[in-house]
A and B are shown apart, each in its own frame.
Chain A
Amino acid sequence: MRNFSKKAVLTTLFGLCGFVLNLQAQTCSCAGAPLVSSQSGGTVGKGAFLIGYTFDYKNISDLYSGSEELINNTVERNTSTSLLELHYGISERVAVTTTLTYVNKFRETGLHLGNSSQKLRTTGVGDAMVLVKYNVHPQTVFEQYQVIFGAGVKAPLGESSMRNNGFLLNADMQPGTGAWDGVLWLYSSKTFPGMNTELFMMNSFRYSGTNERFSSDDRYRFGNEFVTSAGAGGSIFRDISYRMAFRYRTAASDTRNSANMPDTGGRWLSASPALISPFPFLENASVQLSGNIPLYQYVEGTQPSISYTLSASLFIGFGGEKLVGITDF
């Protein structure tokens, strides 16, 4: 039983952190942290507690006009985000996931001028998200698939009116969005033990609220966002696993007082390979390294877009015998 529990914990950890893929960057249409696209898959059972820490680095220096990549020799941007995920199982089927973020945004402009470029860095606590997950169909030894539904809110903990020397910064340099958003989330997976393979799919939808960017009668709204990802995972060697996912994300244009903001919104398709391994220094812990490879993007107008993403995650589980959604490979 003890051996089973350990494998169960590790498998669940892999399942969760395998989805910490952060496939999509903020384009210049988005402020804050990449919360929706960074949610882990799976859930935890009653009394189980799982902590995850992810460091995510996005280079956003490509420039696109529609689906055409342009040569960008003027601006370089990147965003690094620390995400702290706390999963707790309230009952066998219901769990709560809280995600806190800390955001570091960097922008360098005027690169074409040589040594007179201007750098701007903003850092701060980003927005947070709370999801309540309901395990519609828990995975068992006999029925090796699961369906988990979640709903929650994104809370505007991050600052969205940051100023530099008194001047209000652009929305895309703000750590937070300043708006309450509603989030729907759906995760499903099926395991094929004989093939050492798990297939999974995760969908999330964020309905954006509005913020008062310039004044109390000013309504800025980031575009709604839908993310769907699907892929497969399995064991490679001993306890080391892989994940390979394809993700499609679409974001509507931002609006200000109901008018579409230019150069916001678009569609992105990307692939994200990941390697997951037990963390040798802690029991019931795993680490993941993942990357992101953009495959296709269509942006409204002309926008900076993601060049690549690198992520590293550490997950630590507690109360493993109560984890659900496990698969003994």
Chain B
Amino acid sequence: MGTRISITLTIILLLFAVQCSSVSTNSDSENQNEEENSVWSIPEDKVFIGQGRDGIASIDDPKFENTEDIDFINEDDLITAIQIGDDIRGYPNVILNYHEIVNDRVNDVPVAVTYCPLTGSGLAWNRVVNGVETTFGVSGFIYKNNLIAYDRETESYWSQMLDRAVAGSMEGESQSNYRLIEMTWKAWKEAYPNGKVLSGITGFDLNYTLFPYGDYRTNNNNILFPIEREDDRLERKARTHGIFYSQNLIVFPIYAFSDEGTVINSKYSGEDVVVAGMAKDELVVSYSRELDDGTTLEFMQTDRPLPAIMEDQHGTVWSVFGQALSGPRQGEWLQQIPSYNSYWFGWADFYGTSPRTPVIQIP
């Protein structure tokens, strides 16, 4: 019997051993994206693989409904919005949480609205890459808990919060940005009751009313990937608005704005900037105060309802998108400045280089 046991065991263990030897080099990947093998400008050991390429599906054929027809969004839920020309569109974050990228055409401009639910950051990029209109997809890679997108033309990888390509033939390049703002659904309905909103009928069967990351938004300990640079001056998940100026980053906690509205006229690195926001609407925007004709505006609160957010010393009322709604400059636009929203830990991890960087400004 002993011989029989030995022979049987040997055969079975050999079967296992043969299998072992065939995978000794670890993973076996098919259909590998060649760009993954290219040089990355960010530390590769800090890049993690999440759901796999397009495991989170971008929306490439978005449909829109009227605001009044949308019934799956709570009043306090956030909506990300864009305006190009007269075309104003809203993208409910409850949908963006599941898709992260909407490849859209706004006022006939090809735009990719990107949103990372882990860092709470949203940027809109032009979809013309290397001279060719394309779409962006979710690469499945994560860097500092933040989305890495890829474009389907050059298959380059784009770090959202770095706002540039970090691997591939477009490495080091940035796409044109368009102003994206966030506000509550309640505020959106007040501001744009006739606005177009991304439909919940996306072609994917998902429960958009359920936040896909549990208590992530409110639990500061719930972080999915490592944080390299911590900064405890604010809570990790504090929603903040950051603006870039000459290598500097100034971060405004959104909760610190007053409910009625706060307007800050300031100068950063020689640039005149206005930051306006309302805590109750979770809305903060920032623009240059300098106009093309050399005029520097001074802004103040307005008693006009949304979408108006401020007015200048000459009586022009300006919208949340920086468009003059009424007054002597009606129809003009304020210059966009590099800025977007993110959870505080995102700013600190990406741009924290010293205990006092980024600069935090409490309104």
Contacts and interface: CB of A to CB of B under 8 A. Distances in A.
B315 interface: no
B28 A167 contact: no
Q: Is the interface of A mostly helix, strand, loop or mixed?
A: strand
Interface string A44-86: 0000010101000000000101101011111100000010101
A110 B214 CA distance: 24
A167 B141 contact: yes
Interface string B16-48: 100110110011111111001100000011011
A318 B207 contact: no
Contacts of A73: 204-205
The size bracket of the interface on B is: 35 or more
The size bracket of the interface on A is: 35 or more
A165 B221 CA distance: 30
Given A66-B210, A74-B57, A123-B23, A260 B222 contact: yes
Contact of A166 (B5, B45, B152, B214): B45
Nearest to A101: B16
B4 interface: yes
Interface stretch (A9-17, A156-164, A233-241, A243-251): A156-164
B12 A51 contact: yes
Interface in B192-220: 203-207, 210, 212-216, 219
Interface string A162-175: 11111111100100
B54 to A, nearest CB: 3
Interface in A136-167: 159, 162-167
Contacts of A53: 12, 15
A218 B321 CA distance: 42
A280 B1 CA distance: 19
Interface string A78-118: 00001010100000000000001010000101101100111
Contact of A110 (B19, B45, B55, B203): B55
B216 to A, nearest CB: 6
B70 interface: no
A121 B213 contact: no
B144 to A, nearest CB: 12
B333 interface: no
Contacts of A300: 214
A165 B36 contact: yes
A73 B8 CA distance: 44
28 contacts: A53-B15, A66-B207, A71-B204, A72-B205, A73-B204, A86-B9, A102-B20, A107-B52, A109-B51, A109-B55, A110-B137, A119-B29, A121-B30, A122-B27, A123-B19, A123-B22, A124-B26, A165-B29, A169-B27, A170-B48, A170-B51, A173-B49, A257-B221, A260-B222, A261-B222, A263-B213, A301-B210, A302-B212
Given A65-B206, A121-B28, A262-B216, 18 more contacts: A53-B15, A71-B204, A74-B57, A75-B52, A82-B15, A84-B12, A109-B53, A116-B152, A119-B31, A122-B27, A123-B27, A165-B37, A167-B44, A167-B49, A256-B223, A258-B221, A260-B222, A302-B212
Q: What 10 A-B pairs come out closest when comparing CB atoms?
A: A110-B54, A71-B205, A109-B52, A109-B55, A259-B222, A262-B214, A65-B207, A262-B213, A119-B30, A118-B53
